[in-house]
Structure 1
Amino acid sequence: MAIKNYSAAAETLIQLSGGKENFITVENCATRVRIQYKDLSKVDKKAIGEMDGVLSVIEKDGLQVVVGPGVCNKLCAAINEILSVDRAASTAAPDAPDVTEEKKKGDFLKIISDIFVPVLPAMIAGGIVQGLNNVLKSVAEARAAAAGIAATETLTAAQVWLQNYHLLNLSNLMGLIYACVFNFLAIYVGYTAAKRLSVDPVLGALIGCITLSGDLTKFGTSAGKGGLIGVIISILVLKYIYKFIQKIIPNQVAVIFVPTLSVLITAALMITILMPVCGVLSDAIVSGLMWILDKTGVFGGFILAACFPTLISTGLHHGLTAIHMEMLNTLGYAPLISVQVMSNAGMVGAACGIFLLSKNEKVRQACRGAIPTSFLCVGEPVIYGVCLPSGFGFITGSIGAGVGGALIRLFNVSFNAMGMAGMSALPLVADGKYLYYLISYFGGAIAACVLTYIVGKARHYE
């Protein structure tokens, strides 16, 4: 059953978590409430997993309670309201208590995931807006050409058409939103990276600002060199420099000299060493991935797409955001995103197969709630609510995702922005290959549905 009373659900979750005093932080991403506890042994994970509306509970870097899009925001806010914690301050500050040793020792992809999760809402909004703007401008170009509209000194023919229909300001506004998200992404990432690595987040934002400055040409480098990877590594360097200077500077003048010297030294190292080296590293990663995608073709698309449901189920897919962004910044498009989105097709198809198979009303109810949401935007509801509980459905869904990935590479479909999955991703498709995206998506979904149904029948699944 879905959550009907968020305050009551929050109260129950707090009680099952060992009480208010056991909480350190509560935040949410697109589909999960992420909770850090002082003592995880006090938490009744099984009981939380059995709560109405909870799709799954993942014990990784604290506890991740999967409840689906929209629901996670409301439940998170309800918990924080009861805990009397300001929503904006619910993430760990630099001077907050150590969260857990597990978090400190998190693997690289997990750390990257934690850095990008807070930025995702803005990235999704910017990506979807730009995708819609691309569709609008494509229609304008076609209509302007058909009507024989000529360009003016200040406007293109498409812009003239948009202006005639009072749509030019809307198009400009959507372009502005996209630019403000992605042109300044290094600042947002600098802030969240510093917060994740227990450094003053505003100093992290400052490091991100420096990497975007046009004055970098005076030092023989250029704005954006090294990309987001360079920003994150620079924040890590800032962390250790800050700690070192903190030890040697007297407390009486620490407030002046610690941040000043830390930023000065880090900026010097970043401009002279880190940005150039990370620039080479970023280019090598993008070139290597493009080589793999180009050389392996449909086979590589199948393997990569089939692996993505596993990454998504563990939340590690967010760790690839930096790579997606490097592709967008370097190439102007990102074929790996379109391959990743095919995981959504496979899981939705498998859930449809389970819906057709099952006679269990609880399973069918879970399918009715999860399939539309996943079809429209994110795959977690069908992954946790339907496919993983069935066992075999996750495997057949992954194979279906592979079929979608093979088709997406066969048609060479790429995305020109980041956003959501499913049908919400349609405006993000580059070069107007919307039909090929739909063929690939439904091809993967149908393959997963048929395979799930066949395997389910063989297993006498009900």
Structure 2
Amino acid sequence: MVCTEVVPDSIDIIITPTIALLVIGVFTIFLVMPIAGVISNSLVGAIQWILNVGGAVSGFVLGLFFLPMVMFGLHQILTPIHIEMINKLGMTPLLPILAMAGAGQVGAALALWIRCRNNKQLSNMIKGALPVGILGVGEPLIYGVTLPLGRPFITACIGGGIGGAVIGGLGNIGATAIGPSGVALIPLIANGHWLGYVIGLLAAYAGGFVATYFFGIPSSAKIAKDKEGHVIEA
């Protein structure tokens, strides 16, 4: 408003965006970026500490909390850790553990599909998102199925934690490159230890399924609905 009153109309289209860009740029560089850097460094340090502890407990914690990190986009800070591990170890043992989070989503979705068959709208969403979820693309299941329902998201995280605990407990399971998760990660598992990874996947599927089947089905999801989401009267 101030710019439009002070700056002539003939140059307003140049001056106003430039000033706005400078203000936002300074704010981002001197306030947002330092705060984001502190948060990122803290998260990286915490993850490295968890990895150093090792074992099933570390795997459970990482598998449990990875989906919330994905939800907020914080999983991108793990890329440098993956790269450094591959440089030093020839593989990243972190990726197979984190991949279990998506497997927990698959198990949760299967439980919802079975328990909520009368909800045609939900069933259709699950049928569309499940194949790509098995291949390691979890966003359709997160944002289309489990997260909107609430409890299934939590039980899916538990399934991911169980799978992560199995991978962490078995140990020495890593990926030779940063790639997809789920079934699609199997060819990238180092040193022929793909069977251990598959066991972890199955454990995450089972954990997410059982936790959701018995504890994660909200009553609203069981309401009979048609494909358009209209309630079907009994």
For Structure 1 versus Structure 2, the TM-score category normalised by the shorter chain is 0.7 to 0.9
Compute the TM-score of the two structures, normalised by the length of structure 1: 0.39
Aligned residues: 197
Alignment of 1:302-381 (within 5 A): 302-358=60-116, 359-381=118-140
- Write the letter of the residue equivalent to 2:194: Y
Residue 108 (str. 1) matches residue 29 (str. 2): no
Higher CA-based Rg = 1
Q: Whole-Å Cα distance in 2 between the matches of residues 99 and 350 of structure 1? A: 47
8 Å CA contact retained: 1:302, 1:405: yes
Could you tell me how far 1:292 is from its partner in structure 2? Answer: 3.6
8 Å CA contact retained: 2:99, 2:136: no
Residue 98 (str. 1) matches residue 21 (str. 2): yes
Q: Whole-Å Cα distance in 1 between the matches of residues 146 and 160 of structure 2? A: 13
Could you tell me how far 1:461 is from its partner in structure 2? Answer: 4.4
Residue 426 (str. 1) matches residue 195 (str. 2): no
Q: Whole-Å Cα distance in 1 between the matches of residues 24 and 66 of structure 2? A: 28
Q: Residue 372 and residue 295 in structure 1: after superposition, are their counterparts in 2 closer, same or farther (change >3 A)?
A: same
Segments ≥4 residues shifted beyond 6 Å: 109-112
Residue 402 (str. 1) matches residue 161 (str. 2): yes
Specify which of 427, 442, 445 is matched with residue 202 of structure 2: 442
Q: Whole-Å Cα distance in 1 between the matches of residues 143 and 218 of structure 2? A: 23
Q: Give CA deviations for 1:303-328 in whole Å, capped at 9, x if unaligned.
A: 11100000011111012111111111
Could you tell me how far 1:435 is from its partner in structure 2? Answer: 1.1
Q: Give CA deviations for 1:89-136 in whole Å, capped at 9, x if unaligned.
A: xxxxxx9x7399499225536998xxxxxxxxxxxxxxxxxxxxxxxx
Q: Whole-Å Cα distance in 1 between the matches of residues 60 and 189 of structure 2? A: 19
Unaligned runs of 5+ in 1: 1-37, 39-94, 113-228, 230-283
Task: Identify the structure with the greater helix proportion.
Answer: 2
Could you tell me how far 1:368 is from its partner in structure 2? Answer: 0.3
Alignment partner, residue 293 of structure 1 = 51
Q: Whole-Å Cα distance in 2 between the matches of residues 375 and 110 of structure 1? A: 35
- Write the letter of the residue equivalent to 2:198: L
8 Å CA contact retained: 1:400, 1:444: yes
Q: Whole-Å Cα distance in 1 between the matches of residues 102 and 79 of structure 2? A: 17
Task: Identify the structure with the greater strand proportion.
Answer: 1
- Write the letter of the residue equivalent to 1:321: T
Say which SS state the counterpart of residue 98 (structure 1) adopts. Answer: helix
Residue 417 (str. 1) matches residue 170 (str. 2): no
Q: Whole-Å Cα distance in 1 between the matches of residues 99 and 160 of structure 2? A: 9
- Write the letter of the residue equivalent to 2:114: L
Alignment partner, residue 11 of structure 2 = none
Compute the TM-score of the two structures, normalised by the length of structure 2: 0.74
Q: Give CA deviations for 1:403-451 in whole Å, capped at 9, x if unaligned.
A: 0000011121111110011111111111111111111011111111111
Q: Residue 312 and residue 458 in structure 1: after superposition, are their counterparts in 2 closer, same or farther (change >3 A)?
A: closer
Residue 453 (str. 1) matches residue 213 (str. 2): yes
Q: Whole-Å Cα distance in 2 between the matches of residues 322 and 332 of structure 1? A: 14
Alignment of 1:186-335 (within 5 A): 289=48, 292-335=50-93
Q: Residue 372 and residue 338 in structure 1: after superposition, are their counterparts in 2 closer, same or farther (change >3 A)?
A: same
Which segment is superposed worse, 408-417 or 99-108? Answer: 99-108
8 Å CA contact retained: 2:54, 2:168: no
Higher relative contact order (Cα pairs below 8 Å, separated by 6+ residues): 2
Q: Residue 457 and residue 374 in structure 1: after superposition, are their counterparts in 2 closer, same or farther (change >3 A)?
A: closer
Percent identity, please.
36
8 Å CA contact retained: 1:110, 1:316: no
8 Å CA contact retained: 1:379, 1:421: no
Q: Give CA deviations for 1:384-412 in whole Å, capped at 9, x if unaligned.
A: 11110111000000000000000011121
Q: Whole-Å Cα distance in 2 between the matches of residues 320 and 99 of structure 1? A: 31
